[in-house]
Structure 1
């Protein structure tokens, strides 16, 4: 079976280059073109490389950047993977969908739109069917968003616990890596030896997105989950890997062993389908008293294509009627480009492409 041609938008940025990493040698998708602003027209990928922990092939590094052009992209690619800033993403992604392109985006412009799913295939795979209700679907085009990177890291554990034991309230504090701010990100003199207790709009995104993702979709509308989310978000001097502290109010009172077994035993639709970028074990539970840590767990996930795609949970505890834990995920892989690539793999499996 021939591969599907895809375009990468924002190829000079961190998320765009994580898309290229996830797509290199992909069994389903073939990169048709790398696109960015006109300032980068004609530059080699090697000239604008920001990813430092992955070795790209020589052919990939020699590829040239092209100026984003909706007509050009829509005539050459079935899929666009979007890593462009939200202010540009909104109209560009709408225009591409209108021209029959399936857009899988890391940007937040469309996350709260009425028929646009915030998709995590292990959490809410059926939400992808909402694209059939998008105005552009008759032309073959649609938009699928992934979640905010901090929402992504806890969505799967929360989904498992909500289904198994019922969630009433979620209190989350995040310790978010510098790469989540893009490149070059937070100025070094602000970041080194410091914690910045504010990330604009992040807390509001988490509190809204999680209840949309863990809700349902039927009769052309999303119905949000009924539990409450309260978030505090901070930027910390870590390169990759968002760490999140959870305090959970559950309807039932499972033992810690039951909670651990539910999390570590979970397998979702991507695992059942054997999707290429799906980690074999989507939630890894660590029993060591000092895990998870970004230095040790940010790249969790197997096989090799799913490196950085698993969520690691540790320090499961119970106190004063609440359940406590830490969760860790790779913010530019699972919480960024990798999440969107997995979304596209699910769309292919469901014959939406």
Structure 2
């Protein structure tokens, strides 16, 4: 299938290109960015590309929209412009979006394949209500994407309450994010709208009504979001039983998806520098699992924010949709 990547010069856009470069199902045909990148070779904007992709010429978004002749689109556009653009494209073409513009609309699924792949059935509702031939599927905020994998496991033990504190990497803020002077020797306990996103996206993805509260911080780490999680469960269980549940969780194992990796790996002390690349960035690491009282537990989870939390998650969504013959 021929694909286009919108926002191809940003951090997430470049990760899309990296992950799709030799993909067996999806072939990059068009790289799309802002007008200031129009006409430049991709290798002159992103440092790592070589070969055919490096030689590809970047298109301006306006030109692409005049003739978006591809089988599907991956969108890494800023949310400020993604909404209208993605709706226009979805009239004819499937759009897999990393932007937040459509996540909270009732007929648009936020998908984490291991957690709620069955919600792809909303595509039919969306197409019928909007008269589209294509559709929009979103993936969640990066911290949410990492968190809900573990919460899906815990939902089997009757999830009642979640408190989470995130320690998020600098790359989560994009190229225009924090300066080195702001983040050096510092922790910044504010990321705009992030706490609201975690709280609301988690409930929508899991389809559960539970209490959840988040505190988000930015820390001086390049890649990899770490989260300290405290949960209250409705069922009596043990640390050993929860650890076995985490380690055995593997719902996509038999689907043979190209981006598949074991979703949860247990390591006693998760660390970005050591564990963010597990499963080529698609595995998240759970550790420091402990019991607070009969119903309350705590643990740490870590995931690569640009892979599992962004481009890789969106590609996995497209692969699952392709495997289910929706596209």
Shorter-chain TM-score bucket reads: over 0.9
Which is worse superposed, 292-301 or 270-279? 270-279
**In the alignment, what sits opposite 2:16?**
19
Q: Is the 8 A contact 1:150 1:242 kept in 2?
A: yes
Which is worse superposed, 63-72 or 81-90? 63-72
**In the alignment, what sits opposite 1:304?**
none
Match of 1:314 among 251, 268, 287: 287
Structure 1 pair 344–20 and aligned structure 2 pair: CA distance change class (3 A): same
Does residue 186 (structure 1) correspond to residue 178 (structure 2)? The answer is: yes
Match of 2:246 among 247, 258, 263: 263
Provide the C-alpha distance between the structure 1 equivalents of 2:65 and 2:9, rounded to a whole number of angstroms. 20
**In the alignment, what sits opposite 2:234?**
251
User: What per-residue deviation string (whole Å, max 9, x for no partner) do you get for residues 53-78 of structure 1?
Assistant: xx54322222111011354453x211
**In the alignment, what sits opposite 2:155?**
162
1:275: how far off? 0.4
Structure 1 pair 326–124 and aligned structure 2 pair: CA distance change class (3 A): same
User: What per-residue deviation string (whole Å, max 9, x for no partner) do you get for residues 132-160 of structure 1?
Assistant: 11147754210000010000111111001
Q: Which runs of 5+ in 2 are unaligned?
A: none
Match of 2:143 among 147, 150, 157: 150
Provide the C-alpha distance between the structure 2 equivalents of 1:85 and 1:191, rounded to a whole number of angstroms. 23
1:204: how far off? 0.4
Q: Is the 8 A contact 1:97 1:143 kept in 2?
A: yes
Which is worse superposed, 126-135 or 341-350? 126-135
SS of residue in 2 equivalent to 1:323: strand
Provide the C-alpha distance between the structure 1 equivalents of 2:93 and 2:67, rounded to a whole number of angstroms. 9
Provide the C-alpha distance between the structure 2 equivalents of 1:258 and 1:292, rounded to a whole number of angstroms. 20
1:286: how far off? 1.1
1:274: how far off? 1.2
**In the alignment, what sits opposite 2:167?**
175
**In the alignment, what sits opposite 1:234?**
217
Q: Is the 8 A contact 2:43 2:50 kept in 1?
A: no
Does residue 346 (structure 1) correspond to residue 320 (structure 2)? The answer is: yes
Does residue 29 (structure 1) correspond to residue 26 (structure 2)? The answer is: yes
Provide the C-alpha distance between the structure 1 equivalents of 2:67 and 2:30, rounded to a whole number of angstroms. 8
User: What per-residue deviation string (whole Å, max 9, x for no partner) do you get for residues 22-66 of structure 1?
Assistant: 11110000111000111111111122116xxxx543222221110
- The Cα RMSD (Å) is 1.3
Does residue 323 (structure 1) correspond to residue 297 (structure 2)? The answer is: yes
Match of 2:111 among 119, 123, 129: 119
**In the alignment, what sits opposite 1:296?**
274
Q: Is the 8 A contact 1:111 1:147 kept in 2?
A: yes
| Aligned residue pair count | 324
1:255: how far off? 1.0
Structure 1 pair 323–345 and aligned structure 2 pair: CA distance change class (3 A): same
**In the alignment, what sits opposite 1:220?**
none
- If the length of structure 2 is used for normalisation, what is the TM-score? 0.96
User: What per-residue deviation string (whole Å, max 9, x for no partner) do you get for residues 183-220 of structure 1?
Assistant: 142111101110000000000000000000000xxxxx
**In the alignment, what sits opposite 1:222?**
none
Structure 1 pair 232–37 and aligned structure 2 pair: CA distance change class (3 A): same
Provide the C-alpha distance between the structure 2 equivalents of 1:197 and 1:317, rounded to a whole number of angstroms. 25
